[in-house]
Chains A and B, each alone.
Chain A
Amino acid sequence: MRVMLMRTCLSEAVAPSVWKSSRRVLERCGVDVKVPRAQTCCSQPAWTAGHPDQARAVARHTIVVFSGPEEVVVPSGSCAGMVVHGYPEMFKGQPEEEAALDLARRTIELTQFLAKHDLDPGRGSRGPVTMHDSCHMLRVMDESQSPREALAKAGCEVREMQHTDRCCGFGGVFAINFPELSGRLGEEKARAAIESGAREVVSCDLGCLMHIVGVAHRQGIPLRARHVAEVLDR
């Protein structure tokens, strides 16, 4: 089985280990992983900031880079959601509509891909973790079970925090436009995470993690953060 891996721009900018771990996890399951070198970004930042033309220009590039028969695996519920849900809206009535719909049909989040093909990354894990359901994973990709199943298969104990389905307050440009409000929600999330008894928060979205752990560090809350791919990889 051969897939293409989307690295995601956040992973490239802040945490290359996330996409590298994703590749290793897939390869350990016997998947042939192609990482297109020409890829950039799914275009979500411009789309959600209210600049559809600028977003479309970047998304067109992404559609070309990921053309082909393979499934496109994304280690982010949010970027996957952008392609699956956002591209059909973004390219409605545009020349690229068919190609956009095709890519949307082939795109899948990492843990969903593991569950879909019943793959077992199989490696033990250290210490209990708590799982933050990122909003786009939960509501756009309609998914909360696959990451938990993958973590359980890897031998990782998940201690559920209170209101795990509540937004952490990240939200892309929102985090920068309304820092006080965003920070307040992040603090609530970090406190809920540490109260679960786990010392580490895990999520399928790096953006949420950067935000939650960033607020926790500022507030002196001893919380660690790791992407689900990194937990499966260790």
Chain B
Amino acid sequence: MRSRVPHAHRGRGAPAGNPPARAPRSRGARQVSTRKRRGDGGVAYLDVQGTLRERTVDALRDRTLRGNLDSATTSWGESRDAMRSDYGLDEMRERAREIRRSNIRNLPALLSEMQAKVREAGGTVVRAVDGAEACRYITGLAQARGVKVVAKSKSMATEEIKLNEALEDARIEVVETDLGEWILQLASEHPSHIIAPAVHLNREQVAALFREEAGTDDVPDDREGLVAHARVRLREKFAEAGIGVSGVNLGVASTGTVCVLENEGNARLVTSQPRIHVAVMGMERVVADWDEAAHILQVLPMAAIGQDAANYVNLITGPRRDGEADGPEEFHLVIIDGGRGALRGTEFEEALSCIRCGACLYSCPMWRSVGGQAYGSPYSGPIGAVITPLLEGPSSPASRDLPFMSSLCGACGEACPVGIPLQDLLVRARARSSSPATRKSGMAFRAWSRLWRRPSTYRAWMAGWRLMLRARGKDGWATDLPGPGAGWTQVRDMPTRWPPRR
């Protein structure tokens, strides 16, 4: 069966159909399989295990993880606080918020403009309704061009659509070239943070992985030595790769330019060295023009890790033109809907403003305590707890509990550089969640509501509760409450008189 990419628009008068058939190597291309893979179309990781609570308990036991998270989040927090006063981040946030609100309101028009400009510049634009469709397109492209090795630069969207799994299924080698992501690829793990995917691992853990990969103990374990080792290994892969896949931080509609921010230079290689560059962008990542882009590109690294600018800002408009010294021969922009379009005009619309800076993650006491892995999806922390269930659907077992893993402390909304009211969205997401636990709690709260809207039944219940507390208490403390109180007394005692006795 031939796979299909609806809404595909191709530059340079390429014939319709997928994969694009104009390259000389397309002769031997295999038909793309459309068999349904486990987890297709979902955001949560395929191998997510146990309940969310079980995963938090495992993470809490990991003392190394805790130390790693503490040191990273503390230093980023300090840098960010410095930015806040030095650059007036709070004022910048207001403008960033306005820009993103207007982008989301005008999304269809901006995407049309972006698409037209990319095509004008000689690129190909593909609109994919879901991850499976995007993966089929990219896999098909690789097969049509006879590509055996794909080099990737850090991209949340490709994690979301599970591109690596799709390429590997098609027997195409995928190499992550971001140092952190490469480390995780070696560890067979998933990223735990938007900006710093391997933040949960420390130097010793990384050295052990490198030694295993290299098959020798001759790998230094100091920071510089590790980076040098990775650089040599990855350069080999850049030379082999036929396709470079990158994410997109921002798409600029007025010129059809994709912006890729990075600190290592690997994205620069991925987007210029291989013959083909495929940029994968969530549909919401588009801004109108360079005035807006300049502002967001400043706010992003500041909010992310308190950096006043990204080390590399790659601005890519179409493939290499005649007379240009470098750049790919082909440029493909894959724009993913994946459930995003359906959020426009809903009470969750503001979540689409997210610029994926990660600030809400390390401001979150939950994320700081358990790290990103426990969330079981590429998008972790408060923003992940909101958008993963939205993209997965309210009854997805892998993600429906996520909005409940928050004390609603509001630190996330305070940290968000585009002013997304994350704590409000978490509450709304809870109301939308559908699981056995929420249905059970719904029943309990129906009873609660009937009792508590009448003063007489409310007072009777309160009197009964105080009696029960006194009966269960010993020396002023209850240590094993029944019913809903059981979760309370699992980790803490309940004072039965107030002020509590020591």
Binding site for B on A (CB under 8 A): 9, 12-18, 37-41, 43, 45-55, 57-58, 60-61, 89, 135-136, 138-140, 166-167, 169-186, 210-211, 213-215, 217-218, 222-226, 230
Residues of A close to B202: CB separation below 8 A: none
Task: State the Cβ distance, A135 to closest chain B Cβ, in Å.
Answer: 4
Let me know if B445 and A49 touch, CB within 8 A. Answer: yes
Q: Is the interface of B mostly helix, strand, loop or mixed?
A: helix
Asked if B411 CB lies within 8 Å of chain A CBs, one says yes
Q: Report B117-142 residues with CB < 8 Å from chain A CB.
A: none
**Chain B residue, CB-CB nearest to A57:** B449
Whether A181 pairs with B60 at a CB distance below 8 angstroms is: yes
Given known A14-B498, A177-B53, contact A139–B487 (CB-CB < 8 A): no
Please give, as numbers and ranges, the residues of chain B lying within 8 Å of A12 by CB-CB distance: 462
Give residues in B with beta carbon < 8 Å to A.
Answer: 53, 56-57, 60, 365-366, 369-370, 403-411, 413-414, 423-424, 427, 429-433, 437-438, 441-442, 445-446, 448-449, 452-455, 458, 462, 465-466, 469, 477, 479, 484-485, 487-488, 490-495, 498-500, 502
Report Cα–Cα, A146/B462, bound state, in Å: 31
Nearest to B54 among chain A residues (CB) is: A180
Residues of B within 8 A of A15 (CB): 495, 498-499
Residues in B with CB closer than 8 Å to A41 are 452, 458
Q: How many Å lie between the Cα of A47 and that of B413 in the bound state? A: 18
Interface hub of A41, A172, A217 (most chain B Cβ within 10 A): A217
Q: CA A38 – CA B454 in complex, angstroms?
A: 8
Q: List 16 A-B contacts (CB under 8 A).
A: A14-B494, A15-B498, A17-B498, A40-B455, A45-B448, A46-B448, A48-B430, A55-B445, A58-B448, A135-B407, A169-B365, A175-B407, A182-B491, A184-B60, A185-B407, A214-B488
B365 to A185, Cβ gap below 8 A?
yes
Choice from A18, A38, A50, A61 contacting B433 with Cβ under 8 Å: A50
Q: Is the beta-carbon distance between A51 and B491 smaller than 8 angstroms?
A: no
List of A residues within 8 angstroms of B455 by Cβ: 37-40
Distance in angstroms from B420 CB to nearest chain A CB is 14
B469's nearest neighbour on chain A, judged by CB, is: A14
Known: A50-B431, A174-B408, A178-B405. A214 touches B493 (CB 8 A): yes
Interfacial chain B residues near A230, Cβ < 8 Å:
499
Residue of B nearest to A62 (CB): B453
- The answer, among A47, A51, A136, for a CB contact under 8 Å with B441, is A51
Given A46-B449, A176-B484, A215-B491, does the pair A139, B409 have CB atoms closer than 8 Å?
yes
Known contacts A45-B445, A89-B424, A215-B491; 15 additional CB pairs below 8 A are A9-B462, A13-B462, A13-B466, A15-B495, A54-B448, A61-B454, A135-B407, A169-B365, A169-B407, A175-B407, A177-B53, A178-B404, A217-B492, A217-B500, A230-B499
